[in-house]
């Protein structure tokens, strides 16, 4: 059984249908990429999965359970974590606290919520440190998040998602705005996560996706126009047209 399955998932904003009857399956343990030109509806698709938006119609089955319309904070507790395309961190908090808060959100018990000192949750401290180590930020743990570079903030973005110990990891263009060097490093990082997490990756740099994905879904004007292995996608004529700026294929 797939970990995630959407059935004719649709989101309309007035006359605009941003996501149009998307049916997609993500196998547990796989890295499934969603690609498509800017404005194809990829981020809207993520926002539906995480509850930031309520679908107009369709179903989202996570582990066999329909979660469409569940508010974001409840979706997080089901074990779905995401990173954002536009860096979304807590700028005045320390890097460590940024990650720690992600771990605490998913902690088994919130006992001592308003009273216990944060350092009295050793297992969460360890989880946070581990997440920072996996992206290579543990040396800067005490720095306020606003003080580090954009590239490092992208790494922190990823660490926050990892610290939630997710069953499903949604990565929204983790390499957005990175230099070629930094992009290489980010791709290496995502490659390391492969197999350890079930990952849905949004990316519009097609070369990045081809090398690391198990399966690829291609979105164009809100609809899925192709799905398959990287090799199959590479041969697909519709995909080429979408990327080479052809008119609507729908």
Partner 1 sequence: MRSANNPEARHGSAGTRPSIGGLGAISGPPARQTKQAWLAILAAVLLLPVFVRYAVATEIWIFAIFGLGLNLLMGYTGLLSFGQATFFGSAAYVAGYLLKYANVGVLVALVVGIAVGAASAAVVGYLCVQRSGLYFIMLTFALNQMFYFTAYQWTTVTGGEDGMPGVPRPAVLGFDVHGPLPYYVAVAVLFLASMAVMKRLVESPLGKILQAIRDNEARAEALGYDVRRMKLLAFVVAGAFSGLAGVLYAMLFGIVPLEAIGFVFSGNVVFATLIGGSGSLYGPVIGSFVFIWLSESVSTIWQRWPLLLGVAFVIVVLFFRGGVVEAWARVWAWRAAQRAPTATVRHDAAP
Q: Does an H or E element contain 33, and which? A: strand 31-35
Distance CA 229, CA 3 (A): 18
For residue 204, the SS3 value is: coil
Q: Shortest Cβ distance from residue 138 to partner 1 (Å)?
A: 7
> Which CB atom, from 160 or from 239, has the smaller least distance to partner 1?
160
Among the residues of 2-136, which ranges form H helices?
Answer: 42-49, 72-78, 95-105, 122-135
Residue 59 has phi, psi (to 5 degrees) of -125, 150
Q: Shortest Cβ distance from residue 64 to partner 1 (Å)?
A: 21
Name 248's Cβ contacts closer than 8 Å, sequence gap at least 6.
Answer: 220, 221
Q: Shortest Cβ distance from residue 140 to partner 1 (Å)?
A: 8
Taking 3-state DSSP, the helix, strand and coil percentages for the chain, each rounded to the nearest 5, stand at 40, 25, 35
Q: Shortest Cβ distance from residue 117 to partner 1 (Å)?
A: 6
Residue 177 has phi, psi (to 5 degrees) of 75, 15
> Which CB atom, from 117 or from 211, has the smaller least distance to partner 1?
117
Q: How many CA atoms lie within 13 A of 224 on its CB side?
A: 19
> Which CB atom, from 115 or from 247, has the smaller least distance to partner 1?
115
> Which CB atom, from 58 or from 166, has the smaller least distance to partner 1?
166
> Which CB atom, from 121 or from 197, has the smaller least distance to partner 1?
121
Q: Shortest Cβ distance from residue 98 to partner 1 (Å)?
A: 8
Residue of 89, 88, 70 whose CA lies nearest to 78: 70
Q: Shortest Cβ distance from residue 238 to partner 1 (Å)?
A: 33
Residue of 225, 184, 206, 221 whose CA lies nearest to 35: 206
List interacting residues with partner 1 (CB under 8 A).
50, 52, 71-74, 76-77, 82, 84, 88-94, 96-97, 100-102, 104-106, 110, 112-119, 121-123, 125-126, 129, 138-139, 141-144, 160, 164
> Which CB atom, from 71 or from 246, has the smaller least distance to partner 1?
71
> Which CB atom, from 104 or from 221, has the smaller least distance to partner 1?
104
For residue 188, count CB atoms less than 10 angstroms from its CB and return exposed for 0-12, middle for 13-18, buried for 19 or more. exposed
Q: Shortest Cβ distance from residue 97 to partner 1 (Å)?
A: 5
């Amino acid at each position: 059984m797939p970990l995630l399955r959407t059935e004719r998932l649709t989101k309309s904003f007035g006359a605009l249908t941003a996501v149009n009857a998307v049916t997609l399956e993500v196998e547990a343990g796989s890295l499934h990429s969603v690609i498509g030109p800017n404005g194809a509806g990829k981020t809207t698709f993520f926002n539906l999965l995480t509850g930031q938006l309520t679908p107009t119609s369709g179903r989202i089955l996570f582990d066999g359970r329909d979660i469409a319309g569940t508010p974001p904070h409840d979706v997080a507790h089901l074990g779905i974590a995401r990173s954002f395309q536009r860096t979304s961190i807590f700028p005045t908090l320390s890097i460590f606290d940024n990650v720690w808060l992600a771990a605490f959100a998913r902690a088994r018990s919130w006992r001592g919520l308003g009273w216990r000192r944060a350092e009295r949750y050793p297992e969460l401290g360890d989880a946070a440190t581990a997440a920072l180590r996996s992206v290579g930020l543990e040396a800067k743990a005490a720095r306020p998040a606003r003080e580090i570079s954009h590239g490092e903030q992208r790494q922190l973005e990823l660490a926050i998602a990892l610290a939630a110990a997710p069953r499903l990891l949604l990565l929204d263009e983790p390499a957005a705005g990175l230099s070629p060097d930094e992009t290489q490093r980010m791709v290496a990082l995502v490659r390391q996560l492969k197999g350890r997490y079930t990952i849905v990756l949004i990316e519009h740099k097609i070369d990045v996706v081809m090398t690391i994905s198990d399966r690829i879904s291609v979105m164009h004007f809100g609809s899925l126009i192709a799905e398959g292995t990287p090799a199959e996608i590479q041969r697909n004529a519709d995909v080429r047209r979408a990327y080479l700026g052809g008119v609507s294929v729908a």
